[in-house]
Every structure is written in structure tokens, then in C-alpha cells.
Structure 1
Amino acid sequence: MELKDLEIFQLVAEKGTITEAAKELNYVQSNVTSRIRKLETEMSSPLFNRHSRGMSLTPEGKKLLTYSRKILSLTEEMKKAVQTNKEPSGKLEIGTVETVIHLPKILSSYIKKYKDVDVSIFTGVTKNLVEEVLNHKLDGAFITELDFHPDLVSHEVFQEELVLISSSHASTLEEIKEEPILCFSKGCGYRARLAQWYRDQNITPKKIMEFGTLETILRSTVMGLGIAFVPKSEVELLENNGHIRFHKLPDKYSKIKTVFVRRNDTFLTPTIEKFIETIELSKL
């Protein structure tokens, strides 16, 4: 079995079609097809279900994908491990929730200092980002603080205060309790905190509306579409200008930390080590 076979298998699994995988690899489709068949022969098992919409993994294929990710990640880590005396270089793939106010400062400082690193940023909610880190798809991620996970190590970035916001026309917390909630998808740490407050108040929200960006949530709140639970630092200007109104919740719901997480069993390369160092320096 060749590592390239695993790379091709993994890409086909992610893309769902031979055509898309071949296009990304710049291979002819027949080459990709033959490599997949060769791998299936070596595994003595079909790895994909073929159907009109493309290809999906069989139970055996799903098992192989788990091992494939580990093998390819370990291979990449091995390559990096022999470069410990070198300056940070290569790819650095970082995930982040959308509201990390310190991120521009961290990125700017890091990229200016380490010009040979190709940094890619991916946004998402905490739960999804954690899964991406655990599955070796991201080198690390900025997330809202979560319960201890044995496979992760975390580095605190900053503490944030969350505030419940409404349009400027609402004056009291009592008035807005039954307003629609505007939030990110499930897995968002802010949404989880607000949900806990509602449960503790024995209130069931009548309507929850999910949005993909903070900007859309804030604009919708200003227009009176509903209420949102967001970092105070992101909305102070809107409140100062009279576009929204703050409603504070107790500290157990509103005080939250942003942390940077990475797998604790991966080799700490100069590239990621210096990124963590940059995070620490940003707090000074």
C-alpha cells in the first residue's frame, strides 16, 4: 500500500465523486478509479458504495478513513519533526469562531514575522471546530471554553463578557424573553450559554433563527427581528450609538473564555510553537 493511495482514497471520500477528486489532483479519472480498486483489492473489501449521485463510504471504508487520517497526519508530523531547527514554514491551518476580537492582531504579528508560513483560516462553531482538530483536519482552533477533553490541550486567549442585545425599542429584560433568538447553529458556545439561562428560567424559546455570520445577526437585531447573545466588545459601538440595548445576565452565563486548542499528542513544530508564542505575547 502506498501513501498516495490513501491520499487519493481520502480525497474521494471527502469529494464524493471520482470526477471531483481527479480534478483536484489533476489526474485522469481512470487513474483515480484504478488506485481505488487497487486499494479495495488490498483491503479485500469494497470501500465505496457506487450510486447515481456519486460515491459514499461503506462501513469498512469509514473504518479505513479513520486510520488513513491518522497515518497521513503522522506522516506529515514526521516530516515536520525533522525540521525542528528550521524557522516556521509550510502550511498552518487554523479554525476560529467568528468573534475572536484579538485574532487580527495575532495573525498580523505572526505573518509579518514568519513570512514562509502559509496561514489558512476556517470559521465555524465551537463543536465543529473541535471535531476538525480531533480529526487532524486543523492544526488548532480558537473556540469558546469547553469541558476538558483528554485529547486536547488549551491555551487561554482572553476572557469575554456576553450581553443579551435587543433593538433600542425594548427597555427591560422581561419584555424580550419571548422574542425570537438570533444565533449561530448548534455547537456555538454562546448559544449553549443562553440556552442554559432559558432552562434555568423555565422558559422555552418560541422561535430560534440560525444565521451564518455575526454581521447578519447584529443587523437583524437592530431591525427588531429578535434578540442575540454576543460578546460585549463586538457591539459596544452599536450600543453607544443607540442602535441596540444591552441586557446583562448573571456572570455564570455571561463570563466566557476564548481558548486556542490543539491535539496534545501531535509534535509541537516550530510553526505551531511560534503561533502559540504569538498568542501569549498578544495578551501582554
Structure 2
Amino acid sequence: MELRTLKTFQVVADQLNQTKAAEILGYTQPTITMQIRNLEQEIGHPLFNRVGKKTYLTPAGKVLKQHVDKLLAYRDEMDKALNLLNGPNGKLVIAAPEYYWTHFLTLLIHSYVSLHPKVKLKLVSSSSVDVIRMITSNEADVGVIAGNHKSDDIEATLLDEEELLLVTSRDLFESADLSVVFQKYPLIYKESYHLDGLYDRCMEEITPKPLSVIESSSEEAIKQGVLNGTGVGIISVDLIREELKKGEIVPLHRFRQPLETFIITLKDRADEVTIRSFTELVVEGWDETAQAESKES
């Protein structure tokens, strides 16, 4: 039996639809039909029954499916073990919000490419919420997010803790007290603050409460919204150091709860050599990169 034919059987057995199986495998439907027919002849038993418009596995098909799943899983493990001998290689998709690309990951990517030139990188800029979705759906291999996402499927490693401030523009600060400002202007905050309840914990520290809020996926949009008087913002102190020095942005409250940054990947993929090599480099180099960024600003 050829592994290619067994893989075809596995996909057809999973889908119970040869048309869908052909799309997944990139074969024509006659090719699928021929491979299944040859396999049935080889083992001497029919593998599928068709009743009306539905397809079912025969008893022989069910037995074969159990063993094929194990066999192909062992083959995947073998391939992974052999790939370890080659070091990091293949394609690596990394997803993170724009802020992390601009201030941290660009420098780390440069180091990684120098160390592992065989790895082909794809870099995706996205919100933290979308990064989590991409990791769980295997659209991305590694992600960096603002806030923590607790899941049995995701491995998260803490990279940083940033101080969060409640801020406003100089003009709004001088025009009225906070209670009046919150009656007229919305609170702008990052949507990912909902990931681990950070937003609710921040709200417990604020009195009075804002009458309206705006969620944003961009820290830069929050900063600009504060600067142009759109509203009051919750934002990391690291992002507005220059504006604080110039007095363009005024802090109203320093939150006890920090904004945490995590690097994430799927737990069952965390030990893949290419993924592990990147996560280890980011974990080891994050603080140094942050210090360099702080000196420049």
C-alpha cells in the first residue's frame, strides 16, 4: 500500500465526500475514485457504502481508518524528528499588532534571519484579537499580543509589563474637571484589554465612570484620538513618553494593573524546532530591545 493512497483514503473517510476530498488534496475526482478502487482491490473488501445521497464507511473501512490514522500520525512524528536534524527551516508566519512590529520585532527579526537563513518568514500586522484567532486556526505559527489569553490550547510566555495611564490632551485637561470631560467625551481604549478582564479592572479604579467608550485595535489611533481631543484614553506610558515630556498629553490616573505582553503559540506545536527557535530568541532579546527603544525615545 502506498502512503499517498492511504492519505487519500483518510481524507475521503474524514469528509465522506469525494468532491471535497479532491479539493483538499488537489486531485481530480477520477484520480480519487481510482485510488480508492485500487485500495479496495488490494485489501479485498469494499471501504464505502452509498445509501441515497450519503456515504458511509463499511466495517472494513472503519478498521482501516483506525490503523491509517495511527500510521500517518507516526509518519508525521518521524518527519518532525528528522526535521530537527536540519535545524530551523521552512516557513514561519508571525502575527503581531503594528506597535510591536515598529518598536520591537523588526530588530529581533533581523537577528533571527541572520541566525537562521533557511527559514522563510511571513510577517502579519493584526490586532491582538485577530492574532489569537490566527494562532488557533493555524494561520500563524507565532503571535505577540497585548493582554493575556488563557486557553488550554495556547502556550503563552510573558514578555513585558507596561504601565497604563488614563490620559487626556492638555486642552481638555485645562478646560474642565474629569467628571465634566467624561460627560462630553468618550473613553478610548484597546479592544484587547477585554482578553483577561484588564478593562474591567481598570474601570474599578476610575471615578466617575465614562458615559461612552470607543474600542480601537490600534494604540497609535488611541494616541491620536487623545491628542486631537476626540476623547480620554487608556494607553501604555511607553507609547506616549515624548508627548508626556512635551506636556501635550496629561496623565489623569496611573493604573495599578499593568498591560502585559505575551508571545503565544499552540501548545501542541510549541516544540517544533522553527517555532521554538523564534520564541526563544524573542524571549531572550525582548528586554534588551525594549531598553534600546527607551534610550532612543
TM-score bracket, shorter-length normalisation: 0.5 to 0.7
SS in 1 for 2:268: coil
Structure 1 residue 132: deviation in Å?
Answer: 2.4
Equivalent position of 2:148 in the other structure: 146
Match of 2:271 in 1: 268
Q: Give 1:1-284 correspondences, 5 Å limit.
A: 79-100=79-100, 101-146=103-148, 148-171=150-173, 173-174=178-179, 176-178=181-183, 179-185=185-191, 187-189=192-194, 193-198=198-203, 201=206, 205-252=210-257, 255-266=258-269, 268-282=271-285, 283=287
What is the Cα deviation at residue 275 of structure 1? 0.7
Alpha-carbon contact 1:151-1:264 (below 8 Å) kept: yes
Q: Deviations over 1:86-120 (max 9, x none)?
A: 13221111222343343223222212322222222
* Matched letter for residue 124 of structure 1: S
CA positional deviation for 1:233: 0.7
Q: Distance in 2 between matches of 1:175 and 1:73?
A: 63
The Cα shift of 1:251 comes to 0.9
AA in 1 matched with 2:86: K
1:249 Cα deviation after fit: 3.0
Q: Which runs of 5+ in 1 are unaligned?
A: 11-21, 36-41, 47-71
Structure with the largest fraction of helix? 2
108-117 or 197-206, larger mean C-alpha shift: 197-206
**1:20-58 CA-partner distances (Å, limit 9, x unpaired):** xx9xx9x9xxx69x98xxxxxx89778xxxxxxxxxxxx
- Equivalent residues, number: 238
- TM-score in terms of structure 2 length: 0.63
Quick check: 124-133 or 237-246, which moved more?
124-133
Q: What 5-or-longer segments of structure 2 have no aligned partner?
A: 1-5, 16-22, 33-47, 55-71, 289-297
Partners in 2 of 1:76 and 1:116 — Cα distance? 21
CA displacement at 1:243 relative to structure 2: 2.2
> Structure 1 vs Structure 2: percent identity of aligned residues?
17
- Give the Cα–Cα distance (whole angstroms) in 1 for the partners of residues 74 and 240 of structure 2: 42
TM-score where L is the length of structure 1:
0.65
C-alpha spacing 1:221/1:268, structure 2 compared with 1 (3 Å)? same
Are 1:161 and 1:232, in contact at CA under 8 Å, matched by a contact in 2? Answer: yes
Q: Deviations over 1:195-232 (max 9, x none)?
A: 44335657653333344533333222211011221211
Shift of 1:131: 3.0
Separation of aligned partners in 2, 1:225 and 1:157: 31
Give the Cα separation in 2 of the matches to 1:102 and 1:4: 46
